[in-house]
Amino acid sequence: MLNVRVKVKDVLSTEPAGQDIVVMGWVRTFRNNQFIALNDGSTNANLQVVVDFENTDPALLKRITTGASLRINGNLVASLGKGQKVDLKATQIDILGDSDPEQYVLQPKKHSLEFLREVAHLRFRTNTFGAVFRIRHALAFAVHQFYNERGFIYFHSPIITASDAEGAGELFRVSTLDPLNPPQTEDGKIDYNQDFFGKPTNLTVSGQLEGELAAMAFSEIYTFGPTFRAENSNTTRHLAEFWMIEPEMAFYDLEDNMNLAEAFIKYLIAYVMEHNREDLETLDLRLKEEDKTKPEAERSEMGLIEKLEFVVNNKFERITYTEAIDILLQSPAYKKKKFKYEVAWGIDMQSEHERYLVEKHFKKPVIVTNYPKDFKAFYMRQNDDGKTVAAMDILAPGIGEIVGGSQREERLDKLVSRMEDMHIPQNEMSWYLDTRRFGTVPHAGFGLGFERMVQFVTGMGNIRDVIPFPRTPKNCEF
């Protein structure tokens, strides 16, 4: 048996009494041939291992290098040094894996996030990414806990589908046909009858439509899985593969939907504040350091933890799209022609507009409702004004849109006529329309972009730094 180790996190909270323990981990630094800072990923805090160098084979000492993996037996004693409570006095050191210092790129110094993205397979061994990915884990766990506490069913929507839920056409095709020589129909088109599924299929952009089917039986469900969008957006907020949480609830209207979304976001933040304090402190410090390198105007007004506390303790602002446009039209930014894109009722707000509302005007998360129907998806419930739909987006400081959702159109005739207007073939969607044919009910739901949530909680500016292996245009490494 190999795994008799105690995790560093547990060692650090143990009262030292000379007890004999085994630890395993990777060397972060080795100072004066005497002090090993050992890390096993359970916490950013390293265990200080004290080596009796006078009685240790010099050949072994030479192999204790940054990145090497070790198994250490030792006695846990009170530390004589400052900065830590305990030391492990090594009695036996075994090298599990060497790490050639000439070749190992993660030397104990500051590396830029851009550089670390190129060595994403190793970046988990840094303090920043250790903190980010432990928090990502905690958030995922809290997602399940939140919905489980409320009796929602975790529903697995498919990854491969034949539908485009959002109707935006940003699909990754799934096909086993020979791309160089696909079978053709008589009129020269690709013959998808001969493809694996007998029709065109793609990776899902959203589990919502299938989620709605489940909500019509279980009343409250959520999905949590990867989604895929072939949108050519090279920004700090977009991934081609991202994770989304999509709750869908029968017997909810738009207000119920907003209440759930707000409670959900606050719960996730509160969970991390309670369970990941050390990691948040690491990232709080990182953000302060990063801010120092920026011009005054671009610095964050609040520290990371301060911001999270503020969001948990304050009600989100709720305004309609029409009010949002009015605020923009009245704004000094508009009057001084600071916006690059036009502002008028009917525009799909650009990120500069969203940021103005959230960061300059309200200085807190804002829920915008009742958008013009023209740029929203076919399934959103039509309002009586004939112009808007019961949509809601939540905009967060520093992130922009973090949630998109709506009350759904539960009236069959209205839904069908909207699909006709938008040229969505009904025959391929009869399974979806069946929910409106048999026991339709008012219902609503939303999607929370998981990586944007992780960004918000960790303060990381680039979405590529909160998912282990980001997929973006022209980039699919690892």
Task: Give the binding site for ligand 4AD (CB under 6 A).
Answer: 165-166, 206, 208, 229, 231, 238-239, 242, 244, 246, 401-406, 445-447, 449, 451-452
State the minimum distance, in angstroms, from the CB of residue 366 to ligand 4AD.
Answer: 13
The residues near 444 (Cβ < 8 Å, ≥ 6 apart) are 248, 249, 252, 253, 254, 256, 257, 390, 405, 406, 407, 408
The nearer residue to Mg ion, 404 or 445, going by C-beta atoms, is 404
203 binds, among ligand 4AD, Mg ion, none (CB under 5 to 8 A by kind): none
The interface partner of residue 369, options being Mg ion, ligand 4AD, none and the CB cut-off 5 to 8 Å by kind, is none
User: Phi, psi (5° rounding) for residue 392?
Assistant: -145, 135
In angstroms, give the least distance from the CB of 405 to Mg ion.
8
Minimal distance, residue 404 CB to ligand 4AD, in Å: 2
**Minimum CB–partner distance for residue 227 and ligand 4AD (Å):** 7
Whole-angstrom Cα distance, residue 421 to residue 321?
23
Cβ distance to ligand 4AD smaller for residue 138 or 205:
205
Residue 37, contacted partner among ligand 4AD, Mg ion, none, CB below 5-8 A by kind: none
Alpha-carbon gap, residue 383 to 389, rounded angstroms: 5
* Nearer to ligand 4AD (CB atom), residue 125 or residue 452: 452
Residues 6+ apart with CB under 8 A from 256: 249, 444
- The single-letter code of the amino acid at 382 is Q
Q: How many CB atoms lie within 10 A of CB 28?
A: 19
| Nearer residue to ligand 4AD within complex by CB, 38 or 389 | 389
The nearest distance, CB 365 to ligand 4AD, in angstroms, is: 12
- 246 makes contact, choosing from ligand 4AD, Mg ion, none, with CB < 5 to 8 Å by partner type, with ligand 4AD
Q: Nearest distance from residue 401's CB to Mg ion, in Å? A: 6
Q: Which two tokens stand for residue 350?
A: 């650009």
Q: Take residue 400 and report the two structure tokens written for it.
A: 């922009």
Q: Which is nearer to ligand 4AD, 169 or 198 (CB)?
A: 169
Shortest CB 397 distance to ligand 4AD, Å: 14
Which residues in this chain contact Mg ion in the complex, by CB under 5 A?
Answer: 404
Q: Which does 400 bind (CB under 5 to 8 A by kind): Mg ion, ligand 4AD, none?
A: none
d(CA 388, CA 370): 6
Nearest distance in Å: CB 383, ligand 4AD: 17
Helix H, strand E, coil C: the string for 420-475 is HHCCCCCHHHHHHHHHHHCCCCCEEEEEEEHHHHHHHHHCCCCHHHCCCCCCECCE
The residue type of 197 is F
Work out what residue 165 binds among Mg ion, ligand 4AD, none; the CB cut-off runs from 5 to 8 Å by kind. Answer: ligand 4AD
- Burial (0-12, 13-18, 19+ Cβ within 10 Å), 91: exposed
Residue number with CB closer to ligand 4AD (39 or 206)? 206
Question: Which of 40/354 has CB closer to ligand 4AD?
Answer: 354
Residue 125 vs 229, nearer CB to ligand 4AD = 229
- The CA-CA-CA angle for residues 26, 31, 32, to 5°, reads 140
